[in-house]
Homo-oligomer: A and B are copies of this chain.
Amino acid sequence: MATMKDVAEAAGISIGTVDRIIHNRGRYSEETAELVRKSMKELNYTPNIHARGLKQTKKHIFSVVLPHREQDGGYWRLVEEGILKAADELISFGNDIRIFPFDRYSSSSCIDALSGALSTDTEGMLIAPCRPDDMRALLEHTNIPYIFIDTNIPDLKRRTAYIGQDSRQSGILAGKLMSLLIARNASTGQDQYVLVVDPPGSNFHLNNRIEGFRYYMDAVMPEIGLMTLKAEADDELHFHRRLKEFQTKNHLLPIGIFAANSSVYYIASFLEKEGDECSSIPLIGYDIIPGRESAVERGTIDFILTQQPEIQGYRGIIMLYDHIVLKKEVNKEVIMPLNIITRENIHTFTGYVNG
């Protein structure tokens, strides 16, 4: 509860000098600085956040660089929602948060978005570097601090922080849940297999999830085969068509289906259309998509895994603000908890927790 005035008095120096020392704002001697730092320690001085916030009328500008909301099955929409929620809170303090969306399948779009963000008077950036190679060069030559969200580029050590998920582990978890779901039916017949649905596009996390799932299934249920269905378009009808094709080609139904992202909802609607025999097939996927929870509530989808992308987005912005404006220490790496959602607990997850 010591004020700057207290520190100044204890050091036998003026407030102005103390302030200059704290903020390293030139024009002071190292001697007095030492003295002041000692007094600060002794009095356990912490700046009053309110006084600071009040004085700082300066409007802070932050930029967000992430894929279009519709991409990856609406995943980015969820992230963006959390970002907007945090932005809302910060805007009311006179700050500005600018979003630079890009097409995650286009190199030029990605580069444009990032250079757009860089060319403004941004003080910090929240970046989803899902095209690391397009972004690396630009990020190596900037002094603007940035936080990575969702994907990390480990070799860019100048990042302030990374907030994301352990996607391989989530695949392993999906494998475990699948093994429980199919335990009852397994080994009652020959040629049993689990269908792995690989969503369109290539994506670090998707690959990791699938790899983790495979790893677990091969280790625990080696007798169950895994078949992969690669989708080419992020579109409900496309999924239905591909599934139908698959069904006619393979007359034997899978004993379980794993979808590596929110396309699980497309699969659910297909299975429900096909009748009870299909909709009772164990089905695991990712992310709670607002408005589509009913497939979980009905039990067509058995488990949904999520790392709450909204909260990821929300916390990303708050971390940026904490770091740059409040000058707080922030965690270098935040891994989101891996939640298991099922019909019995989904209602406790809709709507925000925290924030």
Interface residues of A (CB under 8 A from B): 1, 46, 48-54, 92-94, 166, 169-170, 172-173, 176, 180-181, 183-184, 311, 315, 335-340, 342, 344-345, 348-349, 353-355
Shortest Cβ distance from residue A337 to the other chain B in the assembled complex, whole angstroms: 5
Chain B residue at smallest Cβ distance from A51: B54
Contact of A340 (CB < 8 Å), options: B46, B52, B340, B355: B340
- CB neighbours (8 Å) of A315 from chain B are 354
Closest 7 interchain pairs by CB?
Answer: A50-B53, A340-B340, A173-B344, A338-B345, A354-B354, A50-B54, A183-B184
Measured in the bound complex, the distance between the Cα atoms of B348 and A201 in whole Å is: 27
Q: How far is the CB of A90 from chain B (nearest CB, A)?
A: 12
Contacts of A166 in B (CB 8 A): 348
Distance in Å: Cβ of A353 to nearest Cβ of chain B: 5
Which residue of chain B lies nearest to A318 when distances are taken between CB atoms in the complex? Answer: B354
Q: Is the CB of B348 within 8 A of A94?
A: no
Which residues from chain B contact A348 at a C-beta distance below 8 Å? Answer: 166, 169, 335-338
Residues in B whose Cβ lies below 8 Å from that of A181: 180
Q: Which residue of B has the minimal Cβ distance to A180?
A: B180
Give bound CA distance, A180 to B178, whole Å. 10
A173 to B166, CA, bound (A): 25
Q: Which residue of B lies closest to A55 (CB)?
A: B50
In whole Å, how far is A221's beta carbon from the nearest beta carbon of chain B? 11
A267 to B338, CA, bound (A): 26
Q: Which of B48, B335, B337 contacts A339 (CB 8 A)?
A: B337
Note all chain B residues with C-beta closer than 8 A to A183. Answer: 180, 183-184
Closest to A174 in B: B344
In the bound complex, what is the Cα–Cα distance between A11 and B340 (angstroms)? 54
Nearest B residue to A92 via CB reads B46
Given A49-B50, A337-B348, A340-B345, 7 extra CB contacts under 8 A = A1-B94, A50-B52, A50-B54, A51-B54, A54-B54, A173-B342, A354-B355
Partner of A48, one of B48, B54, B311, B337: B54
Cβ A345 vs Cβ B46 within 8 A: no
Roughly how many angstroms separate A329 CA and B181 CA in the complex, as a whole number?
43
Can you list 28 A-B pairs, Cβ within 8 angstroms, ordered by A?
A1-B92, A46-B92, A48-B54, A50-B51, A50-B53, A50-B54, A166-B348, A169-B344, A169-B345, A169-B348, A180-B181, A180-B183, A183-B183, A183-B184, A311-B353, A311-B354, A315-B354, A335-B348, A337-B339, A337-B348, A337-B353, A338-B345, A338-B348, A339-B339, A340-B340, A340-B342, A354-B354, A354-B355
